[in-house]
Structure formats: structure tokens, C-alpha cells
Structure 1
């Protein structure tokens, strides 16, 4: 998957591929958070689910002659009964044409759902997202997929949004239906009798529609930079809105505008369940040991509302009475223990916020383990400590296994360069330009943006030291 933005917010041009770990680096106000929000919107499952639900199967399959429907259905059933995979080349051309039409409709529905999702996540219309210079520029957003190959492009101008859709070829989507998909289709259609068997063809069409989006993470979650404050205040905000709800219909009910990122984060907190996810409990416990020196748990209050409690040797504390460090790490622990699963995508803004350098490196090591266990992670960072720990994990992947183990880099900690995408957000007079950074096994991610600061500080130190020597 690939996301490209042009003339959006402060960004002049940016293209980022979806890696298991995506690292966005750059100075403040360079557009990293805006692009991270775009990643959350572009790789959200909502638009894809909307397309699969809304496709009008009946309209397309009513065009198929009965004999062709029977011919295709009989062939597919025969293949499924024999435990073989139906081949698209053996399907009648009229059926293939219908499936191709469906792919076009699905992708247009997907583009419509994506516009809605982008506007919901950003909390504004696409036209408001355009970069402002002397005048409003023409913005562009495009999302691409490979295997299957498709693209959706949006051109945003004062006249509105123009959409360009390039659907995937049927020959690429069909083979994505693996053994389990065909078994599912067979289970759903075993009881169907009579002719024509368009029911079977509809089941196949639904499966093919899902296959268009097999590269999109099943769930994408976002931890915003303001999570500590939101975590401490969300219960008060929810209570205030509930109290005001009794006046709905009698007076105007004003709700403060919030972006979809914040709304989704608050929604996750309000809907937390005390049951555990089994995928990342070890990593959640590791963060509690290495950083929190305590534990985080959910506890229902008198109304069944989930309260996040921090427990240390001295007692139990609601998050409103804890430090900002605990409020920053607690939501990550909660997400790992109760929300996230393998193959999900987690976007974290500034994971190093409010953390001591030792805690920053501990969190970076945990993220390496999460990536190796199947969680996709995208993050923005300003921290040289955090980035250096990621680099150590990348370099360790090139060291012989016994030596890496001795140095504390077991298999879960070693991060191959192929799993990492790093991008530098570089402000210019004409807007921020984003460049892909080299990720090498012998150096990790290039840190040129930090090196410039280091050199400047070193130069100042040398001048000051010389001045002190002269004054003596």
C-alpha cells in the first residue's frame, strides 16, 4: 500500500509506503501529524467495508442468462467438490464481464467512502485541507495497492473533488481467493438447490470484492499526541455531554467540534472491555515492568463505566492523579492488552512524549517486538534516543545470531531493514517535502536532521570553552 499527498496542509509532496514499521522524522510543524492522520484515514477498513456492503449484486447478476449461470455454477461446484481451486480462465466470458463490472463499481464505492472517511478523520472538508500559500493550491491525495493493483486519486480544487479510479484486473483479484475462501463459499452454498445458481456467483462476487482490499489492515488505531490529557479528561467530557443530552429537543445542543482521530480515541476509551486480547499481553507487561514500575488495569465503576487504574506498591490511583509519563504509557498498555491484534495497524504520535531517555529506549525495544509479532506500527518522533534504539535493533539483525543474543538482541528484538520505512519531513519555502531515508543493515536509519543540531551545539560548546579559557 502507498499513500501520496500533494499540497495538503504544510506538505508540498509526500509519498509513504506501508511497511511493518513506518518512522516519520522531522521538525515541529512540518506536517508529520497531518500525514499520520492521512495514513489512518487511507488505511482504515471503514471505506472498504462500505464498498463491500453497498455493491448492488442483483443489478449485475440479473443480466446473466440462466444457462450461463448454470454453466459457471456447475463448474465451480465441481471444482469445490474435488477440492480444487476454480480458475478464472474456465469461467464463461459473460460471467467474467459481470465480475469486471463489479470491480469497477466496488472501487467507485470505495472512493466515495474514502472521501467521507478522510473528511471525518480530519474533521473538515477535503477542500479545507489544501495548502495555503499566496492562494489556495490544488491538492492531491492518492492511495495505491499492489497485488492486486489498483489506485484511487483525488484532485481537490475550488470547484470540488475530482476522483480518478483505476480498478484491479480480475486476473489479479481472483487468485487472492485462497483455499479458506473457497471453503467458505462452499459451506454457504451447499444447501442451495435449483437453477440458476446465481446465489453461488453472488457469494463469489462478495469474496472477490473483499480480496480487492486484502492489503488494508483489518483494524487501524490511532494514539494522538494529546492522549495523556484526553485520557485524564475523557470521563468528565462524556459525563458533561450525557448531562446535556436531557435538553436535546428543548434547546440547541452544542457539541464541540473534534477531529475523527480524537473522537475515535475517546470512543475506544468509552467502549473498553475488561477481557484481554491474547496477542500482546507479554509486551503490555513488559512496559509495566520497564517503564511504569506498576500495573494498569480496567475497573468498572458503579455504572459499568471502565476506569483505568494505575497500581503501585503504595496503592491504587486513577489516571487523573498520576504523572504525565504514566498517562502517556497507560493507553499503549491498554491498547496492547485489550484492543489490538496481530496484523492490525497502530499509529502513535510522539511515543517518546514525557518519557525519560531510558524509558524512551525501553518503549522503542517494545515496539521492535510488536512489529516482529505482526503488528504494523507507524509513528512520528523527534527523539534521537528513540531512533537510536531502533537503529541498534536494525544493526543487530545483521550480526550473527549467537553474538546478537549475547548482546541482549534476541530474535524478537532484531529488526531487518526490509521491515522499516523511514521518511524525513523537510520544510522548504514552498512547503514541506518528504524524502525516503535509507535504512541500511550497518547504520540503520540516517539521522542527518539530528546531526545538524548536534554539530551546532558542539560548535557552541567549543566557542564557549575557548572564551572561558581566554578569560582565565
Structure 2
């Protein structure tokens, strides 16, 4: 994997960020998460009735001989598409291992409000760069994928029974889609309907999350940036519980956060999972078993800036949850300042 990254790191980043400026970029995964025995691309002829088809098979096999992945395409498939598909397959196996490609993965970016409100114009004008248009804004590949996926049908069922719960807890209403135009609206419990662009930032921020849960496609991986954005502290706590419920329904969830409240709520759910008085604690605080997080299934990483570099380190898991110094130190400093002012 690192050989591929070393050779094509610049091109990979250019496609990912829609920006030329990665000529001297170096990428590597350390330690390598996947030991690959061999990658094979073989041309074969398969008989189908009286006709035959020239095909190309790609297989990914672990060093121990275990078959990981295989796909067969027509030899007429665009070579560039073939290379990108193979690269993506190897990269996803490296990052996600055996969880790769069971269902779809979903990405909810921090910039989701603006993208949601403008998604129809962006998809029409080709913001991903696949349809060059004059004066069309360019988006990074993840943001472009979000816009494209958000434009899909919203006619499915709430596969995890979480959307209604979040709306009941936070919205006092629901986000609905026009079945003809796919325009989103907020429908209050009193029956009043308001277009999404006229609602509060809280609703527009959570609308993609709600519609993702209602979408007609299954997913088992979610990357959710800043789920606490534009939410009151009590709503942030509710979102932490929603994340826990997704995890307990089988979804691999990755979140980024700058909120000490959101993190502390996750820590409380982790701590309560093994609490000796768990049943009473759950009843007192109004929690259900699906709200709790098994610490064995949780990991946290802290990003710190040092010497013009960003360092990523695993946050230690204590009996009280994850200890994140970059948040805790600020809270301690703020509390000390407040106490000094009150003296």
C-alpha cells in the first residue's frame, strides 16, 4: 500500500482536495494495517452462450492466503476508472479491514448547512469537477460526494429507529422531503411547514443526519464532523446518545468534536456501561441499554499542534472515560480565571 502512496501521493491528494499543490507530498500508513500477499489483474475469456467476453479480474489476497476482495470488469472499462477503483479498494481495506463494503459509508461534513441549502444548484452545475462549468465552485472529493449522495431519494424507512427519537428530543417537529421536488421542509408539531432555508441553524445542521437515517440505502460506516455544531448543550448530550445508539445498531461511527460537553456525555455513557449500579443509574437518568457504549468498542485520538505540525495520538481510556488534555487544560484554566475574578 505504501508503495502506491509513495508513487501517486500527489495525484491522490489533488483529486481528493480539488487543488493543485501537492507536488512534494509524501503519504504512508504506519504500521501497515493490511499485509497483502498479492494483487492480480488477469485477462480471461468467459463464455456466455454463443458469445465470449474479455474480462479483467482484480483480486486482493492477504499474506496468509485468505481472499479479501475480488471484482471482475469488462476489459473495455476505462483504464483510469479501473486504476482508481482498485486503489480505492486497497485503501478502504487498509483503513477499515474486514468491515469494507458491506454497505455504504456516509460522510457528514462540518460545512453541511451551506451544502444542503445549495445542493440542487451544486449537483446541477457539477461542483465535483466532473462536469466543468464556468464559475462553478470546486469542492473536495468528500464534500462533492456528500452533495451527490444528499441528492438521492429520501423515501426509505428509518433503518435504525433513531431519526424520530432525535426529532422528538430536539426538534419538536420533523424534517420532511417533498416527494416530487425533493425540497426539504421543517414541519412543526402544530402542523406549520417552513422551508429549510427559513429555519434555525440547529435544524439545518441536523437535517442531513435525519435524512441520512431516513434514506433508502443501508450504511454501516458514518464519519460525522462536529455533530454538536449549532446545538444547545442539552441537544449536544442528545446527539451523543444518538451516536451511541448508532454504534449499538452495528454502525461504525467516527466523529470529530471540539465540544467538552459532547465528549463528557460520551464518557458518561462509557463509564455507565460497566458501572456496578448501572440499572439504577440508567433509571435515574432516563437512559436505555442502547444509550450505553462498551469501552471495548471505543477509541479516541487527540490532535495537537507542535512546531508547525499536527500530531495525532491515542487518548488514554481511564475509568472515567477518555482523557483529552487539549480540552481539559482549557477548562481548568478557564475555571481558575473565574475563581480569581471572584476572589
Give the TM-score range, shorter chain.
Answer: 0.7 to 0.9
Q: Match of 1:337?
A: 214
* 1:255 equivalenced with 2:136 (yes/no): yes
Aligned 8 A contact 2:154 2:216 in 1: no
Pair 340,450 (structure 1): closer, same or farther in 2 beyond 3 Å: farther
* 1:266 equivalenced with 2:153 (yes/no): no
Aligned 8 A contact 1:384 1:450 in 2: yes
Aligned 8 A contact 1:295 1:310 in 2: yes
Q: Match of 1:279?
A: 159
Aligned 8 A contact 1:142 1:151 in 2: no
Aligned 8 A contact 1:145 1:151 in 2: no
CA drift of 1:446 comes to: 0.5
* Whole-angstrom CA distance in 2 between matches of 1:277 and 1:346: 18
Pair 268,451 (structure 1): closer, same or farther in 2 beyond 3 Å: same
TM-score normalised over the length of structure 1: 0.55
Pair 144,229 (structure 1): closer, same or farther in 2 beyond 3 Å: same
Q: Match of 2:22?
A: 127
Q: Match of 1:290?
A: 169
* 1:142 equivalenced with 2:142 (yes/no): no
Q: Match of 2:305?
A: 427
Root mean square deviation, CA, Å = 3.6
Question: Alignment partner of 1:140: what SS?
Answer: coil
CA drift of 1:273 comes to: 1.1
Pair 284,214 (structure 1): closer, same or farther in 2 beyond 3 Å: same
* 1:358 equivalenced with 2:245 (yes/no): no
- Equivalent runs, 1:180-219 vs 2, <5 Å: 214-217=98-101, 218-219=103-104
Question: Alignment partner of 1:412: what SS?
Answer: helix
Structure 1 or 2, whichever has the larger Rg, is 1
Question: Alignment partner of 1:257: what SS?
Answer: coil
Gaps of 5+ in 1: 5-106, 131-137, 153-166, 182-208, 243-247, 467-472
Pair 114,431 (structure 1): closer, same or farther in 2 beyond 3 Å: closer
CA drift of 1:283 comes to: 0.5
CA drift of 1:419 comes to: 1.0
TM-score normalised over the length of structure 2: 0.73
CA drift of 1:382 comes to: 0.7
Summarize deviations over 1:373-421 as a string: whole Å, max 9, x none.
1111111111011001100110011124533442434321111111111
Aligned 8 A contact 1:393 1:409 in 2: no
* Whole-angstrom CA distance in 1 between matches of 2:315 and 2:342: 35
* Whole-angstrom CA distance in 2 between matches of 1:145 and 1:298: 44
* Whole-angstrom CA distance in 1 between matches of 2:7 and 2:252: 26
* 1:373 equivalenced with 2:259 (yes/no): no
Question: Alignment partner of 1:434: what SS?
Answer: strand
* Whole-angstrom CA distance in 1 between matches of 2:21 and 2:157: 36
* Whole-angstrom CA distance in 2 between matches of 1:273 and 1:113: 35
Question: Alignment partner of 2:211: what SS?
Answer: helix
Q: Match of 1:416?
A: 294
Pair 424,111 (structure 1): closer, same or farther in 2 beyond 3 Å: same
Q: 1:225 aligns with which of 92, 101, 110?
A: 110
Aligned 8 A contact 2:13 2:22 in 1: no
Deviates more, 1:115-124 or 1:309-318: 115-124
Whose RCO is larger (CA < 8 A, sep 6+)?
A: 1
Question: Alignment partner of 1:214: what SS?
Answer: helix
Pair 374,459 (structure 1): closer, same or farther in 2 beyond 3 Å: same
* 1:454 equivalenced with 2:341 (yes/no): no
Pair 151,363 (structure 1): closer, same or farther in 2 beyond 3 Å: farther
- Equivalent runs, 1:238-249 vs 2, <5 Å: 238=123, 241=125
More helix, by proportion: 1
Q: Match of 2:85?
A: none
* Whole-angstrom CA distance in 2 between matches of 1:151 and 1:321: 55
